[in-house]
């Protein structure tokens, strides 16, 4: 039974690291897209 | 957008099937029982790590040879993916070691060189944050990246050269190495599954670098416009970063 706890923990760790990393990359992309749109708007108005 | 959705659905299906195969299709190990199933994604994470770090090495050399910013962007993107995969390997390793060896960690050759590799590539990423000039940053990190890669073949060879706590290689390890054919198929499936999910992340991370350069260029343009008196036109704004070159 204890083996299954380690096995389960390892699987959770794999997906947690992958998911957290994927989310941070997606957030960076979205933030930069927003920043590009804002700066382009500023240039158009400007 | 449609191809992205199809790609994501395919990756999800592949991952689910690989997970099912690792847990239910692969036979139970005679010595370790069920706990050995960590191996399928532990090894897949290391294969992705070595693939990503090889991309970093090739990008670093290519940058120094051509001075094209796109190589620097690819290098940093692959380094970050490599560190993420290496982190997965370093977490799953101790979780497997504790029930099998009775200890979480030991400073044997394989584990020590692997931890050193993780530290080197984390340093590579941190080093970049300390420099603002894009060309200087790219050159210094390329040199550091080539130096860091020296540890990668050392990690691969460590348990062959210094056999201590970590098991001997399962593949390409001589006459006593090898696994059950079903296990081998599941391992290949898990490797492909992890690579299939890591490649889109690498592409997205590469895009981040291109967009950062674009933001930098636009900011400079905005600054130039705001610093000019009203009514004057800018013929040729100074640009230090070429976005087209980055992407």
Separation between Cα atoms, residue B80 and residue B84, nearest integer Å: 6
Residue contact B95–A46, C-beta within 8 A: no
Separation between Cα atoms, residue B15 and residue B12, nearest integer Å: 5
> With an 8 Å Cβ cutoff, is A33 touching chain B?
yes
- Which band of pLDDT confidence, cut at 50, 70 and 90, is reported for residue B231? low
Helix (H, G, I), strand (E, B) or coil at B4: helix
Separation between Cα atoms, residue B119 and residue B102, nearest integer Å: 25
| pLDDT computed for residue A1 by the predictor | 62
Strands, DSSP E only, in B116-208? none
The answer to whether residue B38 is domain-embedded is yes
| pLDDT computed for residue B119 by the predictor | 97
The answer to whether residue B216 is domain-embedded is yes
Best interface-test mutation with A: which of B20, B24, B84, B194 has the largest number of A CBs within 10 A?
B84
Rounded (5°) CA angle A25-B46-B29: 130
Separation between Cα atoms, residue B68 and residue B138, nearest integer Å: 10
Does residue B238 carry a pLDDT above 50? no
The answer to whether residue B242 is domain-embedded is no
Give per-residue pLDDT as tens, B35-75: 889 999 899 999 999 999 999 999 999 999 999 999 999 99
Does residue B146 carry a pLDDT above 90? yes
Contacts of B225 in chain A (CB under 8 A): 43, 46
Give per-residue pLDDT as tens, B105-143: 999 999 999 999 999 999 999 999 898 888 999 999 999
Which among B130, B122, B145 has a CA at the least distance from the CA of B55?
B145
The answer to whether residue B131 is domain-embedded is yes
Separation between Cα atoms, residue B217 and residue A13, nearest integer Å: 39
Separation between Cα atoms, residue B73 and residue B64, nearest integer Å: 13
pTM of the model: 0.87
Alpha-carbon gap: A6 to the closest alpha carbon of chain B (Å): 6
Helix (H, G, I), strand (E, B) or coil at B29: strand
> With an 8 Å Cβ cutoff, is A21 touching chain B?
yes
Q: ipTM of this model? A: 0.90
Which residue segment(s) compose the domain that B11 sits in? 2-228
CA of B214: which chain A residue's CA is closest? A36
Contacts of A6 in chain B (CB under 8 A): 35, 38, 95-96, 98-99
- Which band of pLDDT confidence, cut at 50, 70 and 90, is reported for residue B242? low
Separation between Cα atoms, residue B36 and residue A39, nearest integer Å: 53
The answer to whether residue B238 is domain-embedded is no
Residue contact A18–B197, C-beta within 8 A: yes
Other Cβ atoms less than 10 A from the Cβ of B30: the count is 8
Give per-residue pLDDT as tens, A17-37: 999 999 999 999 999 999 999
Separation between Cα atoms, residue A30 and residue A26, nearest integer Å: 6
Other Cβ atoms less than 10 A from the Cβ of B194: the count is 27
Q: Which residues contact B71 (CB under 8 A, 6 or more apart)?
A: B59, B60, B62, B63, B142
Separation between Cα atoms, residue B217 and residue B84, nearest integer Å: 29
The answer to whether residue B121 is domain-embedded is yes
CA of B231: which chain A residue's CA is closest? A46
Inter-residue contact B201 to A22 (CB < 8 Å):
yes
The answer to whether residue B245 is domain-embedded is no
Number of domains in chain B: 1
The answer to whether residue B132 is domain-embedded is yes
Q: How far is CA B54 from the centre of its chain?
A: 9
């Amino acid at each position: 039974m204890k083996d299954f706890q380690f096995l389960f923990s390892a699987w959770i760790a794999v997906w947690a690291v992958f998911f957290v990393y994927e989310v941070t990359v997606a957030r960076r992309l979205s933030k930069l897209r927003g920043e590009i749109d804002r700066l382009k708007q500023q240039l158009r108005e400007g | 957008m449609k191809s992205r959705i199809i790609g994501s659905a395919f990756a999800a299906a592949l991952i689910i099937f690989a997970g099912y195969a690792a847990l239910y299709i692969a036979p139970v190990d005679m010595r370790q029982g069920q706990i050995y199933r960590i191996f399928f994604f532990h090894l897949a994470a290391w294969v992705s790590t070595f693939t990503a770090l090889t991309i970093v090495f090739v990008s670093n050399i290519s940058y120094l040879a051509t001075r094209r910013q796109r190589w620097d962007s690819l290098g940093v993107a692959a380094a970050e993916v490599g560190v993420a995969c290496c982190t997965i390997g370093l977490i799953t390793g101790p979780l497997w070691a504790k029930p099998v060896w009775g200890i979480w960690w030991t400073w044997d050759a394989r584990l020590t060189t692997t931890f050193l590799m993780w530290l080197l590539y984390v340093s590579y990423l941190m080093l970049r944050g300390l420099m603002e000039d894009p060309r200087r940053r790219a050159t210094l990190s390329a040199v550091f990246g080539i130096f860091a890669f020296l540890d990668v073949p050392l990690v691969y060879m460590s348990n062959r050269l210094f056999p201590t706590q970590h098991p001997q290689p399962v593949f390409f390890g001589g006459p006593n190495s090898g696994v059950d054919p079903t296990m081998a198929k599941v391992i290949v499936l898990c490797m492909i599954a992890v690579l299939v999910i890591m490649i889109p992340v690498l592409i997205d991370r590469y895009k981040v670098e291109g967009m950062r350069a674009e933001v930098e260029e636009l900011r400079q343009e905005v600054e130039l416009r705001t610093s000019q008196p009203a009514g004057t036109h800018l013929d040729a704004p100074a640009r230090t970063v070429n976005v087209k070159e980055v992407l």
